[in-house]
Copies of this chain bind each other. A is one copy, B any other.
Amino acid sequence: MVAREYNVAILGATGAVGTRLIAQLAESKVPVKHLKLLASPRSAGKKLLFKGEALTVEATTPESFNDVDLVLASGGGAVSHQFAPEAVKHGAVVVDNSSYWRMHDDVPLVVPEVNEAALNNHHGIIANPNCSTTQMVVALEPIRRAYGLRRVIVSTYQAASGAGQSALEELKTQTDAYNRGEEMVANILPVKGAAKHYPLAYNLLPQIDVFEADGYTHEEWKMIHETKKIMFGDKNSKAVKVTGTAVRVPVPIGHGETVYFETDDHAGATTEGIQKALSQAAGVVLEDDPKSQLYPQPIHAEGKRETFVGRVRPDLESDDAFHMWVVSDNLLKGAAWNTVQIAERLVALDLVRVPKNAINRFETL
């Protein structure tokens, strides 16, 4: 029997995540028969390398998905809203990086180390979680399995690249300007298209994404509800309390997170037990030795697929409570690698097919 090969399309191929999707796919276990690079008309004609071959970027149309088996999408919410249902109608399975479909009841939100089984129930669209959520649940899941999890309070230290290639370039331009004694110009951050922009260089911006009516940012909202959906199967699960604050920091690549968490009462969690669970967990690298000043740092995590965890220690004031520090490359595990990893699992589980009753499940405007 000849192993199945797949026609794959990357949607949003020219962005910070898109270019990494190409590279991660090239190094993955997905057997690619043909790769199609799709983007906006503005990027059409551009050439990008895949396994040494120069591929020409095409403008996305509904017909782009003819004969495509698998779409890896990273073109933003509006693009995924429009084109993911088109792709499904054409019989392609979509793994989507945007936030658009994540909370849809028929869309599994998947981090393979945590809830791979959710893939079995897909209807053509699988969502990739928010970057800051993904690395947190990778670190929390081994702890939950060992000792349960009642509560999480997270503070994020998020890199510029989480807001895309233009934000990454803005950080460098601003830094150069500041170092030359010139004024910093801000046009992108904190949120593209927002009324006000502020420099990120040498600064901290406690706003990621837009504000909700309750005073939380949408990024914070995502961390709360995506964590519940991924780890507890319900975006409004009461089984765990999740809360926190998301802050953008002047780092190009690599999100940091301080994570306070409480395990189940009397589950016997210890620092050593948590460290052991983390050291044995898939996708986690434990970097935790204060004596030798070993702890995760963004500059060491950049370019790596794993989630790095350190500074594990007990809360000195409360029982069954602990702290840790989590770092991962937000463009890889936080985006491109998790997407390709989902694709690998779909291939391994022979799930790269749209169920017949699902072809028209997702409406397109």
Please list the residues of chain A having a beta carbon within 8 angstroms of any beta carbon in chain B: 151, 153, 155, 157, 172, 175-176, 179, 190, 194-196, 198-199, 202-207, 211, 214-216, 224, 241-245, 247, 249-252, 254, 256, 258, 260, 271, 290-293, 295-299, 310-318, 323, 325, 327
Contacts and interface: CB of A to CB of B under 8 A. Distances in A.
A293 B215 contact: no
A256 B216 CA distance: 18
Most interface-central of A153, A175, A203 (chain B CB within 10 A)? A203
A169 to B, nearest CB: 12
A188 to B, nearest CB: 14
A200 B260 CA distance: 24
Interface residues of chain A: helix, strand, loop or mixed (majority): mixed
Contact of A179 (B179, B198, B291, B296): B179
Contacts of A291: 211
Contact of A242 (B157, B299, B312, B317): B317
B241 A317 contact: yes
B206 A325 contact: yes
A179 B251 CA distance: 13
B293 A195 contact: yes
B157 A204 contact: yes
Given A198-B297, A205-B297, A243-B318, 18 more contacts: A157-B247, A175-B179, A176-B179, A196-B292, A199-B299, A202-B250, A202-B299, A204-B327, A206-B256, A207-B293, A207-B295, A215-B271, A215-B311, A243-B260, A243-B316, A243-B317, A247-B325, A250-B250
Given A175-B179, A271-B215, A260 B153 contact: yes
A291 to B, nearest CB: 7
Nearest to A172: B179
Contacts of A216: 313, 316
11 contacts: A195-B292, A195-B293, A204-B249, A206-B256, A206-B295, A206-B296, A206-B325, A211-B290, A214-B316, A215-B312, A243-B318
B153 A203 contact: no
A311 B245 CA distance: 9
A310 B206 contact: yes
Given A179-B172, A215-B290, A311-B245, A155 B258 contact: yes
B325 A243 contact: no
Nearest to A171: B202
Contacts of A172: 179
